[in-house]
Amino acid sequence: MRLGFGLPQVGSPAGPEALVMVAKRAEDLGFDSLWVLDRILWPVNPRTPYPLGDGSLPVQYKNVLDPVETLTFVAAHTNRIALATGVLNLPWYNPVLLARRLTTLDILSSGRLRMGFGIGWSPDEYEAAGVTW
């Protein structure tokens, strides 16, 4: 069995000290991977309920560090643990620039990058950007 650990990239704990502490400790404990998520916008009047709890989007999602930069930072502070994303929302990224960024991260981390791609779960994020489904 392989176990991964989520990095503190969301809310008030998100920051360099917490990222380094969690990443190094997870690697020392033998975890297989470190994970980040992708959230770019905070819908002001969401129409789609959050799938957990009372349906409200948790307030900590107002502050989310970029997933690629977070993994790049963590790669510089670890040696062997895999670096992974949940679903990276492809419509938000220029495909050529994203491929370049991810290739650079994979090379600099000695092949430790693991990626998940999709379009996310919330139509509200796209509507806030002027894209409708």
Q: What is the CATH number of domain 4-128?
A: 3.20.20.30
Is residue 131 scored above 80 in pLDDT? Answer: no
Range 53-57, long-range pairs (CB < 8 A, 24+ positions): none
Could you tell me the residue ranges of all domains in the chain? 4-128
Give the per-residue pLDDT at 17: 98
Beta strand residue intervals within the chain, DSSP E: 4-6, 33-36, 82-85, 88-89, 113-114, 117-118
Give alpha helix (H) positions in 1-117.
16-28, 67-75, 95-108
Give the per-residue pLDDT at 64: 95
pLDDT-derived band at 133 (thresholds 50, 70, 90) equals low
Give the per-residue pLDDT at 92: 86
Give the per-residue pLDDT at 55: 83
pLDDT in tens, 85-130: 999 998 889 999 999 999 999 999 999 999 999 988 888 777 656 6
pLDDT in tens, 17-69: 999 999 999 999 999 999 999 988 777 778 888 888 888 888 898 999 999 99
